[in-house]
Amino acid sequence: MQTDSITAYNGKGFHVNKIYMEGPLFDGTLKAGRYGEFSSYGRIIDTEVAGLEWTWGDPNEGLSGALTYGRLSHDERNMAGTTFEGTTKDGADSYGIKLGADGKKAGEYTSARLKYNFSPVTAMGVTYGHLDNLTVEESYAADGSLLNKYSDDGADIWEIGLNTTLADNLTLMGAYTTSDRDGVYDSVGDEIKTDGWFSELRYKKHDIKDPGSFAIFANYRNVGALSTIDATVDYTENIKGWTIGFDYVPIENTTIEVFYINGSQVNATTSDGAQDVDIFRAQMEFYF
């Protein structure tokens, strides 16, 4: 298996995304190994973690929750959406925000999440996440002025959201995320935003086991790069704007997704300032 996830493990020519075991513990379920971690609405994180997760309650009824401790492998790459033009002390022509301490290939992540179902059609979710270290190299703008001093402070990240069914086959969700990791600056010297909004209206729901099923969606995002680790929707981090698209299942275990995004960067990733974002994408995915 191979992935573009920031947390994919790549060692000696092979890739491992998920391998874990799970079983009952204290009226809940304990999962151990390398598994997919998903915050309440996937706005903080939707990627692989190596560690432990304990879940309890029925996520479709009443109150439920989860506790997680794990490591996010990143192979010293930057967090999604945080590669900026600028010169580092070591002479590199770009800098970013790395998960974990300097020189480490993984960062520690701890989280707690709760979900409450108000009714069969309406629910609210809250997630708290903590990263032990986010490393920013000393970096300079094109004119030689200092953008960032070296820092490796941790971060607390919060997510809160609500989802509801408005009518048959029509759902609406919205979520807000924010972190306390301030004082990091982009390529033109503006502080990188630490909060983000995402909302989506969706008609129907596709199912990879149901050929012919489909979903049509429209969403809006205004997501600061420091409000998320690796969110669930493509082209989310450091982007504000609209998306329209659809998912279709032509045969079992296969999906076709087509979408169009129109917007702009939240923070500038080059010295020319924030760029417009105009993306059309079509992709086919296979599940094994």
pLDDT digits (tens, 9 = 90+) for 4-14: 344 444 444 55
Domains of the chain: 9-286 (2.40.160)
Contacts of 135 (CB under 8 A, 6+ apart): 97, 98, 100, 101, 102, 151, 152
More confident residue, 107 or 193: 193
- The pLDDT of residue 10: 46
**What is the C-alpha separation between 243 and 257, in angstroms, rounded?**
12
Report strand pairing: 155-167 vs 276-286.
Answer: unpaired
Average pLDDT over residues 99-126: 92
- Would you place residue 3 in the very low, low, confident or very high pLDDT band (cuts 50, 70, 90)? very low
Report whether 230 contacts 238 (CB < 8 A).
no
Report whether 235 contacts 277 (CB < 8 A).
yes
Q: What is the pTM of this model?
A: 0.90
**What is the C-alpha separation between 83 and 15, in angstroms, rounded?**
24
Distances 79 to 133, 223, 260 between C-alpha atoms, Å:
12, 14, 24
Report whether 188 contacts 145 (CB < 8 A).
no
Side chain identity at residue 103, one-letter code? G
Best mean pLDDT range from 7-21, 85-99, 187-201, 226-240: 187-201
Among residues 195, 229, 178, 287, the alpha carbon closest in space to that of 68 is found at 229
Neighbours of 124 (CB within 10 A): 15
Does 233 score more than 90 pLDDT? no
Report strand pairing: 63-73 vs 106-119.
Answer: antiparallel
Report strand pairing: 28-38 vs 19-25.
Answer: antiparallel
Contacts of 19 (CB under 8 A, 6+ apart): 33, 34
**What is the C-alpha separation between 1 and 279, in angstroms, rounded?**
26
Tell me: the pLDDT tens digits for 39-58? 999 999 998 899 999 999 99
Q: How many helices (H) and strands (E) does the chain have?
A: 0, 21
Encoding tokens for residue 112? 């707690």
**What is the C-alpha separation between 180 and 155, in angstroms, rounded?**
6
Q: What is the pLDDT of the chain when averaged over all its residues?
A: 91
Among residues 7, 13, 32, the alpha carbon closest in space to that of 22 is found at 32
